[in-house]
Amino acid sequence: MNIIRVENLTKQFNGFTAVDHINFEVKKGEIFGFLGPNGAGKSTTINMLSTILPVTDGEAFINNFSILSQRDDVRKSIGLVFQDPSLDDRLTAEENLRFHAKLYGVPSDEFQKRKQEVLKLVDLWDRQNDIVKNFSGGMKRRLEIARGLLHYPAVLFLDEPTIGLDPQTRAHLWDYILRLKREKEMTIFMTTHYMNEAEYCDHIAIIDHGKIVALGTPRELKKQIGGDIISMTSNQKAELKKEIEKRYKKDVKEKDGFLQIEVEDGEKFLPRLFNELTVEIDSIELRKPTLDDVFLSLTGRAIREEEPSDKERMRQRMRMRRRN
């Protein structure tokens, strides 16, 4: 039984369709990535699935509970890490967790046990009595993940978990996320607009203008746009071209002085090429298509890392000012 089932889920805001009849399912224990540019409908979908936004049309089930009619059961079944921080930074890490545990009805002796478990998982055990205000961005995000796990949810929702973090912290955070999947067999539903992060996902849905334009494993999606690309040079280019065309029945393109062929499985094809070809090769390069290529071919534009809007920047400044 799939842990998330989404059927024709739709959200309209004053006639504008933010999410347009989407369908997908998420298996237990996998990382499911929801990919798309800003404004594509990712957060709207998460907000509907977590029952904080009313649904215009369609239905979804989480852990077999309907997001329309069994809201409290759905809420107990999910852990949420929002795009914007949602910790109380005047409280300590421990107090933030305790608050959460009480709202989710975790008994206090059980809480002591789980607190240790989740804080150790994200390496914050020895910082539990520090005020959150003094935490770095990465630590805050880790604490939020720990908090999201405290009530043992069936699914963990991560909305842009690495946004606003530096590349090193981002990589660390991914270590924790992958550890979660490995050690806890946690089902993770995440949104991102970083294509390289989507590579960690078991399945990906690419969403654009509120519609799912592609769905599959990262590998399948990359295959959709054609195979791997092998480029090579040789002193005897003409002979090489002739031999490849004859032996492998491949279409050989010449581009910038390189001969290029598209093959399905580049890693397996390269050794064959070396063993069988009689013409000498000077250099060779194997390039895999990236998810960026996939997105580009599906939507006709590249996903950019968008700058925060003026309003968002203003808000961040105000927050900084107030905190000092």
Partner 1 sequence: MQFIQTIYTIWQREIIRYWRDKTRIVSTFFMPLMFLVIFGAGLNETLATGNFGVDFTQFMYPGIIAMSIMNIAFFSTISTVWDREFGFLKEILVAPVSRVAVAFGKTLGATTIASIQAIILLILAPLIGVTIHIAIIPQLILFMLLLAFAISGMGLLISSLMKTTESFGMVTQILIFPMFFISGAFFPLTSVPSWMSVLSYINPLTYGVDAIRQIILGNQVASNILNNLSLHPISVDALFLVAFSAVMVSAAVFAFNKRA
Q: Sign of dihedral through CA atoms 30, 35, 39, 40? A: negative
Asked whether position 174 contacts partner 1 by CB under 8 A, the answer is: no
Using CB under 8 A as the binding rule, whether residue 154 contacts partner 1 is answered as: no
Check if the beta carbon of residue 249 is closer than 8 Å to that of residue 204.
Answer: no
Our CB check for partner 1 shows the closer of 100 and 241 to be 100
| Residue that the structure tokens 């880790």 belong to | 142
Contact flag: residue 94 with partner 1 (CB under 8 A): no
Nearest approach in angstroms of CB 228 to partner 1 is 43
Cβ distance to partner 1 smaller for residue 152 or 200: 152
Task: Tell me if residue 172 falls in helix, strand or coil.
Answer: helix
For residues 172 and 14, what is the distance between their CA atoms, to the nearest angstrom?
Answer: 41
**Residue closer to partner 1, measured from CB, 90 or 247:** 90
**Shortest distance in whole angstroms from residue 116 CB to partner 1:** 21
Q: Is 314 in the site for partner 1 (CB under 8 A)?
A: no
Q: Are 174 and 162 in contact (CB under 8 A)?
A: yes
* b/e 258-289 (16+ beta carbons within 10 angstroms → b): bbbbebeebeebeeebeeebeeeeeeeeeeeb
Return the residue of 9, 67, 80, 229 that touches partner 1, per CB under 8 A. 80
Nearer to partner 1, 87 or 119 (CB): 87
- Please report how close the Cβ of residue 54 comes to partner 1 at its closest, in angstroms: 10
The one among 25, 94, 95, 110 contacting partner 1 by CB under 8 A: 95
Nearer CB in complex with partner 1: 106/273? 106
Q: Looking at the DSSP assignment, which residues form a beta bridge with residue 11?
A: 19
> Per CB under 8 A, does 200 bind partner 1?
no
* Per-residue contact flags (x/-) with partner 1 for residues 43 to 72, judged by CB under 8 A: -------xxx------------------xx
Cβ-contact 41, 192 below 8 angstroms:
no
152 in contact with partner 1 (CB under 8 A)? no
Does residue number 91 form part of the binding site for partner 1 (CB under 8 A)?
Answer: yes
Helix, strand, coil in percent for the chain, rounding step 5: 40, 25, 35
Other Cβ atoms less than 10 A from the Cβ of 41: the count is 24
Residue 88 within binding range of partner 1, rule CB under 8 A: yes
SS3 228: strand
Assess contact for 145 and 86: CB atoms under 8 A. Answer: no
| Distance from C-alpha of 72 to C-alpha of 86, rounded to nearest angstrom | 20
Q: Which chain residues interact with partner 1 by CB under 8 A?
A: 50-52, 71-73, 75-76, 80, 82, 84-91, 95, 99-100, 102-105, 315, 319
